[in-house]
Structure 1
Amino acid sequence: MAGIALAGTVLAILATLDPTTVRPEWSAAFLIVIVGSAAIAVAGWRWGVGWSDRMIATTVAALDLMVLASILANQDRSAALLNLILLLPPTLYVAVLLRPPFPRCQEIGVVAGCAVVAALIAADPVQWISLMLLPAVALVGAAETVLAQRRHLESMVDSLELMSMTDALTGVLNRRGITVQLFAAPPAPSGHLSVLMIDIDRFKEINDRYGHVAGDEVLSAVGAGLLAEIRSGDLAARLGGEEFAVVTRSSPADAAAMADRLRRRAVDWMAPWSGTVSVGCAGARAAGPDAVTVELLSDLMERADRCLYRAKREGRNRVVLEDGWAAP
């Protein structure tokens, strides 16, 4: 934006070198345009990175007004209508970088500006419509093209981001996704955070007996089952191989009840292959919203994983809770 304002300043200074360009009665206004665009260039270069969308949109509107003023200050206003092309850079700038509703506000401002300038130049209504519509359609059309491309790119980015956080086979989150989603959600009032580590028992035997295609079907069935059973605020992920995790902000008692429910429901999910799961549970109560950190999540996963191995050693198809965590 600073570059756009600087380019406008240079063009305005060049225009003043031709004494036949600026109307004498508009000299003071034209000087204000030069000083104003220079000030915007300096301020944008120095502080613009910290400006809000609203402040940037206001600054762009000021640039638009300076362009319109340069037309009205010209002795040959009809020829100066070419200056309307200078509205294109700030209009595209807004379309590319600012959030709604500012792009639409910019388009409305551009159309209104073209209408006002054309009204002061046109000899009749037909000429006014012609002088207004040609630049307005071109500017709005360019902005809408950029906005459409921006929406397409944002959709692609959202899809890629979702793919980067999702396990393609099962549809649940992956390890990265569970971290991103956990900290994107608002903290629960209870302050609890519990992790359930879930592992399919004797998965290698299922693969050996039914084949790897069946093994993929088992993983998909468990992923779909977890998504169907967990609550809206809970997160399910596949950590790798046949190991899954559920992260919940429920109390330890509710999380333990969930663990046993998932263990029992897994028997139905994997009925064609006679599969079962073992579950290890660990939880903590955070001192506050800021206490729920990546380090806490990693620690809970490690502790729940140790409980999972205990469940495996003790016979599988069972839930093992962390020591000191009372069952419901």
Structure 2
Amino acid sequence: MRLLGMVLPRLSLRCLLLIAAAIGLAPLSALDIARLNHAKDIALAQAERDMGELARVAAARHAEVIKSAYGLLNVLSNIPAVRTVSAGCNSILTDLKTAHESMTNLLVIDANGQGVCGTGDPSRFNISGRHYFMEMKRTKSFTVSNVLIGERSKRELVAAGLPLLDEAGNFERALVIGIDLGWLKQLAAQTAAIHGASVYIVDRDGSTIYANSFRTPAGDLTSFYRDLPKIPAGTLLTDKPVGEAMVFGVERLSDIGVTIAVGVARAVVFAPIERAFWTDLLLLIAVALGSFGVTVIFVELGVSRGLRHIHQAARAMAAGNLHERAKVPPSVIEIENLATSFNTMVTQLEGLAYHDRLTGLGNRRLLERYLANATRTRASGPFAVLAIDLDEFKPVNDAFGHRAGDEVLAQVAERLTANAIEADLVVRLGGDEFIVVLHESRNDSARIATRLRDAVARPYLVDSAEVNIGCCIGVAFIEPGNAIPGPVEMLDRADEALYEAKRGGRSRVVVTDSHSDDVLWPGSDALFGSQAS
């Protein structure tokens, strides 16, 4: 809270709105990031399943080929011409090879590993040193070789052999079929056609049978090929072999010692998810910015403009201009209520600043503002300022106390207001001094002054006691057509007239201007000016 108290006064409303928008956007962005990570986890799991399935399809295809080879060899073992290597053996095997493109050779091998019947020239085939031949003789069962390289075709192949036993169960001959692994390459090529997929096929020694990477490898793959046969079948997550994280499905063809690894780059898996994420995020930001802009416009029109007008009025009031009011354009109800409250407060302050709290009349500040305005607007006569000073007021305070004196002053104010209905302004300067401002002729100003003197002279009832006071009035008159002087000069003239009145006694009225000497106003014991200029 202390931090907010330090920061908030230094921020504009627009900044607060921007911070609010950012705070509102943050959890949505966090939610989007959480959704992104969740979608990545799902996509990664699906990629693991897909890559594993592709590897299993390759292994299943190989199993089908080996199963077909075993079935074919079994059928051939039951053909007498083949089993006994009699007339027709070569033609039978040659016809079968021609009908099966995946076959590289189809032979009958004697117990010494020498070809005795089959496709091509059987006599040039001797497999006595091959591991699979020795394993077949030892186990007397169907055997599949490791991956071999054809001597003439230089293509990868495997050999499958079925022993032919004599009646005593001894190894007599064997049927051997060579199977081209081109189908495996074709399957690998189809897999590699998947965007971002890579296929690696190695034998049990780590020698490459097939490799097709969607991207140029980042380094030497020798160690990867060497380690691949050691990896258990299943899923493998690795940074190899293309220098970035990949998802591999690994399957082992144990009968021929081949490992198939089908992989896809994690970046490729995540790319559509990340594109969707950034699209959603940018859309969210665009919507947030649009909403922020609309909000700023509404706040500007409905709040900020009104606040600026109120602030300007407040600064004017602080400078002493209490007649300034906040004039706000159409705004939200709260701003209009604030402006109304502000104007009400200024009106009340103006009342306190320009009015006397005891009598409710205007005070000296109001009088000076009025006279200054008359001077500024070049107003002219007829114009009169009546300076009134009470007689015998101090004894009232001494005899009855200040509370009673205040009550008398309030009653004097009421009588002045009631008997000077022609007055533009009635003020209390302070103490027992009052001022009345008129726009009347010289004679009318004198008559009103006499009326006010007589009204003040009537008895007052204070605490059930009758009190009598009077007043002297000095009238400073400006002739028609003459400019009204400044406030100080005007009040000085009224004070001089009042001084002349009090010097002559009590309850007197003196009217002065720049063209006459003081004379007694007829019929009222007043003095009417007749002083030479």
Instruction: Name the SS for the 1:103 alignment partner.
Output: coil
Superposed displacement of residue 233, structure 1: 4.8
Instruction: Name the SS for the 1:199 alignment partner.
Output: strand
Alignment of 1:184-223 (within 5 A): 191-223=381-413
**Residue in 1 aligned with 2:305?**
94
Superposed displacement of residue 190, structure 1: 6.4
Partner Cα distance (2:458, 2:399) in 1: 19
Alignment of 1:232-251 (within 5 A): 233-251=423-441
Give the TM-score normalised by structure 2: 0.36
**Residue in 2 aligned with 1:280?**
474
Indicate whether 1:292 and 2:518 are aligned.
Answer: no
**Matched letter for residue 241 of structure 1:** G
Superposed displacement of residue 181, structure 1: 3.5
Alignment of 1:60-71 (within 5 A): none
- Kept after mapping to 2: 8 A contact 1:270/1:276: no
- Kept after mapping to 1: 8 A contact 2:382/2:481: no
Unmatched 5+ stretches in structure 1 = 8-73, 108-142
Indicate whether 1:170 and 2:362 are aligned.
Answer: no
The one of 303, 317, 322 equivalent to 2:507 is 317
Partner Cα distance (1:207, 1:166) in 2: 23
Larger fraction in helix = 1
Rg larger for: 2
Instruction: Name the SS for the 2:329 alignment partner.
Output: helix
Partner Cα distance (1:181, 1:189) in 2: 11
**Residue in 2 aligned with 1:83?**
293
Unmatched 5+ stretches in structure 2 = 1-11, 16-281, 310-324, 523-533
- How many residue pairs get aligned? The number is 218
Partner Cα distance (2:488, 2:350) in 1: 22
- Kept after mapping to 1: 8 A contact 2:359/2:413: yes
The one of 453, 456, 468 equivalent to 1:263 is 453
Superposed displacement of residue 168, structure 1: 0.9
Identity of aligned residues (%): 33
Structure 1 stretch 311-320 or stretch 160-169: which is displaced more? 311-320
Superposed displacement of residue 182, structure 1: 4.4
Superposed displacement of residue 303, structure 1: 2.1
Q: 1:277 to 1:100 in 2, by over 3 A?
A: closer
Partner Cα distance (1:189, 1:243) in 2: 26
**Matched letter for residue 292 of structure 1:** I
Alignment of 1:131-170 (within 5 A): 143-170=332-359
**Matched letter for residue 86 of structure 1:** V
Partner Cα distance (1:101, 1:220) in 2: 36
Partner Cα distance (1:287, 1:224) in 2: 33
What do residues 101-131 of structure 1 show as CA deviations (whole Å, max 9, x unaligned)? 9723xx6xxxxxxxxxxxxxxxxxxxxxxxx
**Matched letter for residue 270 of structure 1:** Y
Q: 1:223 to 1:247 in 2, by over 3 A?
A: same
Superposed displacement of residue 275, structure 1: 1.1
**Matched letter for residue 164 of structure 1:** A
Superposed displacement of residue 325, structure 1: 6.9
Q: 1:307 to 1:191 in 2, by over 3 A?
A: closer
**Matched letter for residue 477 of structure 2:** G
Partner Cα distance (1:159, 1:245) in 2: 23
Q: 1:298 to 1:231 in 2, by over 3 A?
A: farther
Superposed displacement of residue 152, structure 1: 0.5
RCO (CA 8 Å, sep 6+): is it higher in 1 or 2? Answer: 1
Instruction: Name the SS for the 1:227 alignment partner.
Output: helix
Superposed displacement of residue 188, structure 1: 10
Larger fraction in strand = 2
**Matched letter for residue 94 of structure 1:** R
Superposed displacement of residue 246, structure 1: 0.8
**Matched letter for residue 191 of structure 1:** G
Q: 1:284 to 1:266 in 2, by over 3 A?
A: same
Partner Cα distance (1:101, 1:305) in 2: 41
Instruction: Name the SS for the 1:153 alignment partner.
Output: helix
